[in-house]
Amino acid sequence: MTQVPLTRRDVPLAQPNISDRERAAVADVLAGDVLSMGPYTERFEAAIADLAQRRFAIACNSGTAGLHLAIVGLEIGEGHEVITTPFSFVASSNVMLYERARPVFVDIEEATLGLDPDQVEAAVTDRTRALLPVDVFGQPCRLPELQTIATARGLALIEDSCEALGSRLDGRPLGSFGDASIFAFYPNKQITTGEGGMLVTDDPALAASARSLRNQGRDEDGTWLRHVRLGYNYRIDEISAALGLVQLDRLDELRDGRARVAARYEALLGAEPWLRLPSPAPGAEVDWFVYVVRVDDSIDRDRLIGQLAERGVPARPYFSPIHLQPLYRERFGFAEGDFPVTERVARSTLAIPFSSRLADDQVDRVAHALLDAVHAQGVA
Compute CA distances 136 → 63, 168, 235, 246, whole Å.
14, 13, 26, 25
Question: What average pLDDT does the chain have?
Answer: 95
pLDDT above 70 (res 41): yes
Mean pLDDT, rounded, for 262-272 = 97
**DSSP string of 89-139, one letter each residue:** -THHHHHHHHTT-EEEE-PBPTTTSSB-HHHHGGG--TTEEEEE-B-GGG-
Helix (H) or strand (E) holding 152: helix 143-153
- β-partners of residue 227 are 218
Over the stretch 212-235, which tens digit does the pLDDT of each residue have?
Answer: 999 999 987 777 888 999 999 999
Q: What is the pLDDT of residue 10?
A: 82
* Neighbouring C-beta atoms of residue 225, cutoff 10 Å: 6
Instruction: Delimit the domains of the chain by residue range.
Output: 20-249, 251-376
Compute the average pLDDT of residues 186-203: 97
* CATH of 251-376 given 3.50.50.100, 3.30.360.10, 3.30.365.10, 3.90.1150.10: 3.90.1150.10
How does residue 380 score in pLDDT terms, banded at 50, 70 and 90? low
- Residue 81 pLDDT more than 90? yes
User: What is residue 84's DSSP assignment?
Assistant: E
pLDDT of 197: 98
Angstrom distance (rounded) from CA 132 to CA 82:
7
Q: How many residues does the chain have?
A: 380
Of the given ranges (1-5, 55-59, 154-158, 342-346), which has the lowest mean pLDDT?
1-5
Is the pLDDT confidence value at 33 over 80? yes
Question: Residue 128 in contact with residue 81, Cβ under 8 Å?
Answer: yes
| 131, 120 Cβ separation under 8 angstroms | yes
How many angstroms separate the CA atoms of 15 and 12, rounded? 7
User: Is the domain 20-249 a CATH 3.30.390.10 member?
Assistant: no
Give the pLDDT confidence score for residue 5 in this predicted structure.
45
DSSP-based three-state secondary structure for 64: helix
pTM of the model: 0.95
Please report the pLDDT score of residue 9 as a whole number.
Answer: 59
For residue 82, pLDDT over 80 is answered with yes
Residue type, 250: R
pLDDT tens-digit readout, 301-336 = 999 999 999 999 999 999 999 999 999 999 999 999
pLDDT band at 363 (very low <50, low <70, confident <90, very high): very high
